[in-house]
Structure 1
Amino acid sequence: MTVPPPFLGTPIPVAPVPMFSRRLSPQDARDLGREVLLTDGLGGFAMSSPAGVPTRCYSGLARSLTPPVQRHLMFISPLETLDVAGHRSELHAFEVAPGTVEGDGLNLLSHVELNDLIPTRVQLAGGVRVQRTWFMPRHTGSLVLLYDIDTPQDATLMLGALLTHRDMHHVCAHTPGLEFLPGGLEMSVSGLGPDAHSVALRLYPPEASRIQALVPRPAPQRVHFRLDTARGAPDTERAVRTGLWALHLPAGRHRLALVVGDPGNVGNPWNAYAEEIERRRLLVLRAFSVCGVQDSVTATLALSADSFLVYRQSTQAVSVIAGYPWFADWGRDSMIALTGLTLLTGRLDDARALLSTYLGSLRRGLTPNNFHDDGSGAEYNTVDGALWLITALERYVRLSGDREFAQTHLETVRGIIRHHLDGTDHGIRADPQDGLLLAGAAGVQLTWMDVKIHDWVVTPRHGKPVEIQALWLAALNVESRMSEALGQPPAFAALLLRARAAFMQLWNPDDQHFYDVLAADGTPDASVRPNALLALALPDTPAVPAQLDAALLTAGRELLTPLGLRTLALSDPRYLGNYGGSQLVRDAAYHQGTVWPWPLAAYTDLLLKRGRVADARAALDGLIAHLWDAGLGSVSEVFSGSTLLPGGCSFQAWSVAELLRAHVAVAQAEKGRGEGSRE
């Protein structure tokens, strides 16, 4: 069936010039260990390898049914076949078994260009140059693919799709049943059954083409996800493939588009692309203006930061996806990341809305540790989330001058502190003897080292963890400063003095380091972990210069790597240097030697406190180079302690935010000393 093309005579706007570009060579673009990520600000996302190859069960288009959670996946990949003078080239590629690739897409690559982190794949096939750019327009739940084709002779492009029907966290063990509703240039695909969902695909062909809508002939297709194999997760999908359209193109240059998701939300796809490029340009320019550091690192991280800020439907405000592809929004991560994601990028409205989300979700003085991905509620198993919330609140008020917000939430801050004083969930309570904060209950892990394997809490840290005491002091100091700024007397002045003096119980004079934890009975845990650095980097933590120097010396010897800090000293007999394999093996090593990038910012904070600007810059060099290693333009969640192979989420919010914060702080220090920052 031949149907007329839409938008006849509609001009295609020229998008603004991107702020920066990064070109991947053919070999780098073929790397199936690297990933690109696009997001829509609703929790939905699209990810693949740079060449468009699906490499894990999360690859494809994951749409949020209840923003930003309940993400459902139906569209895995387009299927693209080019016919030139009887010679057929499959422009797509995907694995059907380990090392067995269907399609010619990888072998046809010229390069992949990332323009403001929007990927463009360029291929040469039969003398035809095919360029494909893909992006997600904001708040549309849709993926747009723009094709530019330059052919010296008549050619035919056949477009189809690789489809499934499932929650994004699982693969289909059996071929899903799908129903196709053709509509000329639009195809609707629906699952079967009472919980079925649907996705629409809309073609926008070039004017000069002749279009043939194909009768869908769904066929089973096996798909292998190599990155799931590496995680010990189910790695084989039983999907559906079908052709959808054939476009007969005369010699010349052609532009066409395919919109997947809800095309009605997108409108003209080329206008949508121009708007998205302009939006990204403004994000970079605003970050440049606010932080004063105008380089490609700042630009990259400001754009990466944008992907984590999402709209939460239940609170009608902003939240933060902790990491892509599998995390939902987490309170602790959101508050730690707030400075880098919003304040340094000039997004003060988002900062206020993000704070409002968690200030409005308090329960007995605790903030949600995480919202459930199925939209069913939240967990409140965190001792540090509410304390980081108070610290982030002060940072926002200080930068924005938002006195009204401070006035509104001063009593909220006091309420959080009172709940901690009276005792709240999970044994969280102030010690009446010294004013420090106790926390811990059997079977529960409350700090950021929060792995639990069945009934095994790997790193329990019950008692008085060092960074929790520093955050407690910070919260008490914030209440004092906010009260005075608003003309009110501080409510906890005596408690603050007592707790501040008691903090020195955590100093280990024998090892010249801070204990990681004091048990409730006073028994010390002398494990060397990055938590002492997190504590000392907070501005209200009492410590003398000699203690800072000693902590830095120990951390440099035992914890520091080119990509972050180990979670346990290299010399500790419990150290586990391998992060990989099954979930049990990974979780056992998660905080027992695995390297985390985000605490590196605390280490550089302390170096800057001690005037060691060059050392701070050197500490960031490896992580900045890593921006193009795994999740392109982003920072991984963790690295294996011994090999430094990236692991966990390829795109992690607090990794990105804290690298940006550290980079800006070091660059500003370099500028103050007349030194040039390095990229």
Structure 2
Amino acid sequence: MATARPITFGPQVCARLAEGATREWLVPDGVGGYAMGTVSGLRTRRYHGLLVVADHTPASRRLGLASLDPVVTCPSGAVVRLGVHEWADGAISPTGHRLLAGFALVDGVPRWRWRLGEVVIEREIAAVHGRPAVAIVHRLVSGGPVRLTLEALCTWRDAHGERTANGPPPAVTAVADGCVVENAYRINGPGFTPGGDWFRDVRHRTEEERGLTSTEDLWYAGSFHVTLDRPGEIAEVSAWAGDLNDPPPPAGPAVAAARLRNRAVVAAAAPADDIQATLALAADAFVVHTVNGPDVVAGYPWFGAWSRDTMTSYEGLFLATNRSSEGRELLRAYAGTLSEGMLANTADTGGVEYNTVDGTLWFLHAVGRHVAATGDDDLAVELLPALRDIVAYHLAGTRYGIGADPADGLLRAGAPGEALTWMDARVDGVPVTARAGKPVEVNALWINGLATVLELSARTGSPPGPAERACPQAREGFARLFPAPGGLLHDVVGDPGPAASIANPVLRPNQLLAWSLPHAPARPNRAVLDRLGATLLTPLGPRSLAPGEAGYSGRHRGTPAERDRAYHTGTVWPWLTGSWATALHRLGLSGSDLLADIEGHLAEHGLGSISETADGDPPHRATGCPFQAWSVAEHLRARRL
């Protein structure tokens, strides 16, 4: 059985911040929280920490234990600090990364190895799956005896913000074997000594690059102390939120349990090779369980659940990994959010929003793929009334001008100030990518959705309903209006007003869905794909806009507004590689060479995972979330073709 590919680095990466501080690891807890940091140990984001807790929902996370800095007193009496921090003036102190001999991510568990002459110390970190808890183990590998001190730097704040010494310090209460911080989380370990001081002006260099506040203050809550006399002895520290009187298993067994669980997740997915195994383990990070059942985190470290991302990712996260029973629960729960024929998009912004034209259509696709893969006709019968309601509302018209055009059966959408497609970036309330009208991928999804409802109706012996007439009309309308010169497809046709016309022949990758969905309205052509690839394709996936087109942005960098302007105007989106590979598959061709390009990326940014986006210009430096659900899901799905 294939296992996840180990990712290892030596001192040339670990001890150089330019290398080690740009490679990030993630340990998810299965309920929306995580531990996250860099290979070098430097916290470069406000989101980095050892205990990040999903407070009620994955969208409302709070940072607790920021770091646990090892200080080693060697047999010679020398005191060596193994932590690493950057300060507001750019100084790096201490510089424990310089002593790193190596880093390894094996079976999803990160391990650091420091060499201090004859003394070698290792650290491993794992989450306790199913609860907001983290286990941290330090092991003496050689040399000794040593005195090990572990300094706990803490906060309790919204993960998207900062906390400073301008306000009151976190309340810390000493308890047996540790302390409780803000009555919100507890840290347990050996020989606790209370602290009590601010570490001021800790700098997060990545937030500065993103045009955001880059400093915060951390509270020194105290330290743990233990003597490790001989190789093999360990120091165990646990931190957890929730029921503070219900400790997780000791850190050593918890790390071992996490490793075994991760191996079981991979084995259940039955991967064909180590890359599929690595992606199956990466996919597990996004599947979480909340009070409402299974859900999907769109990306770490800052996203919660978004229905568009969830449904786009569904086939890869649940069907390609043999998790259809969890997927079934998720589909049923999401069906319960339908309103006026629309699936709730997200609650990340504080309230439930219904503001996407494509998320609901991806839901139709996800249900269809689930039933086709599992033979779950009971689910088809249960959800068909809701699916028919979706069709009926879209035919009659629903929010934001979303509705089928009676003249051609195609779906149009648009409202002032709204960005309803996946290209949804706005600056100052104005959509960056104007796509009001009849977008090509929306209508590919619409036709695919209508055909899915017809297929499920026939499968279950149910009356076909309004989709029976709507589907052939929409197909005919697509065939008449979307073809562009040279075999390409127009990105957007018409507008919601009376003077409909072909308005947007710009070269974008959205047309890939019209060639790759199960009930795609068009057939791909190899020469056309080659022509598209010559301008859009990069090693990390297609660009969102061809170089040379008006408004092309080759760098996804800068302030939030600058990044939003570039988000869909040239930035690379790895998730679209899945559609490209599927289009090739429909022609009887292999997409394996295309999919192979991502393999090197698995050790470059979010370790063992695939990033949200990348620069359009070479060398296509990764941007956005380093761990993104639909990027992983679509690569995993396409590899199963």
Q: Does 1:273 align with 2:258?
A: no
Specify the alignment match of 2:341 in structure 1: 365
Specify the alignment match of 2:119 in structure 1: 128
Q: Does 1:514 align with 2:489?
A: yes
Distance in 1 (CA, whole Å) between partners of 2:35 and 2:231 is: 31
Distance in 1 (CA, whole Å) between partners of 2:97 and 2:621 is: 24
Letter in 1 for 2:288: V
Letter in 1 for 2:60: Q
Pairing of 1:51-200 with structure 2 (within 5 A): 51-60=40-49, 61-84=51-74, 85-97=76-88, 99-150=90-141, 152-174=143-165, 176-190=168-182, 198-200=184-186
Which of these residues, 202, 225, 235, is aligned with residue 188 of structure 2?
202
Q: Structure 1's 92 and 339: CA in aligned 2 closer, same or farther, altered over 3 A?
A: same
Distance in 2 (CA, whole Å) between partners of 1:462 and 1:114 is: 45
Letter in 1 for 2:274: S
Letter in 1 for 2:149: M
Which of these residues, 585, 608, 625, is aligned with residue 633 of structure 1?
608
Aligned 8 A contact 1:140 1:265 in 2: no
Deviation at 1:91, TM superposition (A): 1.4
Specify the alignment match of 1:257 in structure 2: 236
Distance in 1 (CA, whole Å) between partners of 2:255 and 2:280 is: 19
Which of these residues, 309, 322, 325, is aligned with residue 349 of structure 1?
325
Deviation at 1:507, TM superposition (A): 3.3
Specify the alignment match of 1:236 in structure 2: 215
Letter in 1 for 2:115: L
Pairing of 1:544-563 with structure 2 (within 5 A): 544=523, 548-563=525-540
Q: SS of the residue aligned with 1:655?
A: helix
Which of these residues, 361, 369, 378, is aligned with residue 395 of structure 1?
369
Specify the alignment match of 1:582 in structure 2: 559
Q: Report the TM-score when normalising by structure 2.
A: 0.94
Pairing of 1:396-415 with structure 2 (within 5 A): 396-415=370-389
Deviation at 1:278, TM superposition (A): 1.8
Deviation at 1:369, TM superposition (A): 1.8
Deviation at 1:20, TM superposition (A): 4.7
Specify the alignment match of 1:297 in structure 2: 275
| Deviation digits for residues 207-252 of structure 1 (CA, Å, limit 9, x no counterpart) | xxxx4x3232323332111111221111111222243222233344
Deviation at 1:265, TM superposition (A): 4.3
Specify the alignment match of 2:636 in structure 1: 660
Deviation at 1:41, TM superposition (A): 1.1
Specify the alignment match of 2:32 in structure 1: 43
Aligned 8 A contact 2:121 2:141 in 1: yes
Letter in 1 for 2:45: R
Aligned 8 A contact 1:79 1:243 in 2: no
Q: Structure 1's 267 and 498: CA in aligned 2 closer, same or farther, altered over 3 A?
A: same
**Superposition CA RMSD, Å:** 1.8
Q: Structure 1's 339 and 18: CA in aligned 2 closer, same or farther, altered over 3 A?
A: closer
| Deviation digits for residues 538-593 of structure 1 (CA, Å, limit 9, x no counterpart) | 1222334xx52353133112211111101111121321111101111111011111
- The number of aligned residues is 624
Q: Does 1:331 align with 2:320?
A: no
Q: Structure 1's 480 and 317: CA in aligned 2 closer, same or farther, altered over 3 A?
A: same
Q: Structure 1's 497 and 566: CA in aligned 2 closer, same or farther, altered over 3 A?
A: same
Distance in 2 (CA, whole Å) between partners of 1:252 and 1:279 is: 27
Distance in 1 (CA, whole Å) between partners of 2:118 and 2:8 is: 22
Distance in 1 (CA, whole Å) between partners of 2:9 and 2:144 is: 29
Deviation at 1:346, TM superposition (A): 0.5
The runs of 4+ residues in structure 1 deviating greater than 6 Å are none
Aligned 8 A contact 1:110 1:124 in 2: yes
Deviation at 1:107, TM superposition (A): 1.1
Specify the alignment match of 2:268 in structure 1: 286
Letter in 1 for 2:34: F
Distance in 2 (CA, whole Å) between partners of 1:502 and 1:20 is: 47
Distance in 2 (CA, whole Å) between partners of 1:325 and 1:503 is: 39
Q: SS of the residue aligned with 1:632?
A: coil
Distance in 1 (CA, whole Å) between partners of 2:145 and 2:89 is: 36
Letter in 2 for 1:162: L
Distance in 2 (CA, whole Å) between partners of 1:540 and 1:624 is: 30
Q: SS of the residue aligned with 2:213?
A: coil
| Deviation digits for residues 39-95 of structure 1 (CA, Å, limit 9, x no counterpart) | 111111111002332110000021011032321112110021001132011111121
Aligned 8 A contact 2:482 2:493 in 1: no
Q: Does 1:533 align with 2:506?
A: no
Specify the alignment match of 1:318 in structure 2: 294
Q: SS of the residue aligned with 2:98?
A: coil
Q: Does 1:33 align with 2:22?
A: yes
Q: Does 1:476 align with 2:450?
A: yes
Letter in 1 for 2:488: H
| Unmatched segments (≥5 aa) in structure 2 | none
Q: Does 1:604 align with 2:581?
A: yes
Q: Does 1:569 align with 2:546?
A: yes
Distance in 2 (CA, whole Å) between partners of 1:452 and 1:312 is: 30
Deviation at 1:151, TM superposition (A): 5.0
Distance in 2 (CA, whole Å) between partners of 1:540 and 1:104 is: 56
Q: Structure 1's 486 and 150: CA in aligned 2 closer, same or farther, altered over 3 A?
A: closer
Aligned 8 A contact 2:302 2:625 in 1: yes
Q: Does 1:216 align with 2:216?
A: no
Deviation at 1:534, TM superposition (A): 1.6
Distance in 1 (CA, whole Å) between partners of 2:175 and 2:578 is: 54
Q: Does 1:593 align with 2:565?
A: no
Aligned 8 A contact 1:537 1:605 in 2: yes
Aligned 8 A contact 1:514 1:551 in 2: no
Distance in 2 (CA, whole Å) between partners of 1:460 and 1:449 is: 9
Q: Report the TM-score when normalising by structure 1.
A: 0.89
Deviation at 1:22, TM superposition (A): 2.4
Aligned 8 A contact 2:3 2:273 in 1: no
Deviation at 1:202, TM superposition (A): 0.4
Aligned 8 A contact 1:473 1:496 in 2: yes
Specify the alignment match of 2:286 in structure 1: 308
Aligned 8 A contact 1:635 1:656 in 2: yes
Of residues 654-663 and 512-521 in structure 1, the stretch that sits farther from structure 2 once superposed is 512-521
Q: Structure 1's 427 and 187: CA in aligned 2 closer, same or farther, altered over 3 A?
A: same
Which of these residues, 613, 621, 624, is aligned with residue 596 of structure 2?
621
Q: SS of the residue aligned with 2:105?
A: strand
Letter in 2 for 1:221: R
Of residues 450-459 and 550-559 in structure 1, the stretch that sits farther from structure 2 once superposed is 550-559
Distance in 2 (CA, whole Å) between partners of 1:410 and 1:171 is: 47
Distance in 2 (CA, whole Å) between partners of 1:600 and 1:495 is: 30
Specify the alignment match of 2:422 in structure 1: 448
Letter in 2 for 1:360: G
Q: Structure 1's 253 and 271: CA in aligned 2 closer, same or farther, altered over 3 A?
A: closer
Which of these residues, 15, 24, 49, is aligned with residue 9 of structure 2?
24
Deviation at 1:198, TM superposition (A): 2.4
Distance in 1 (CA, whole Å) between partners of 2:138 and 2:31 is: 25
Deviation at 1:392, TM superposition (A): 0.5
Of residues 576-585 and 616-625 in structure 1, the stretch that sits farther from structure 2 once superposed is 616-625
Indicate the percent of aligned positions where both proteins have the same amino acid: 35
Aligned 8 A contact 1:136 1:144 in 2: yes
Distance in 2 (CA, whole Å) between partners of 1:173 and 1:182 is: 22
Which of these residues, 401, 413, 428, is aligned with residue 439 of structure 1?
413
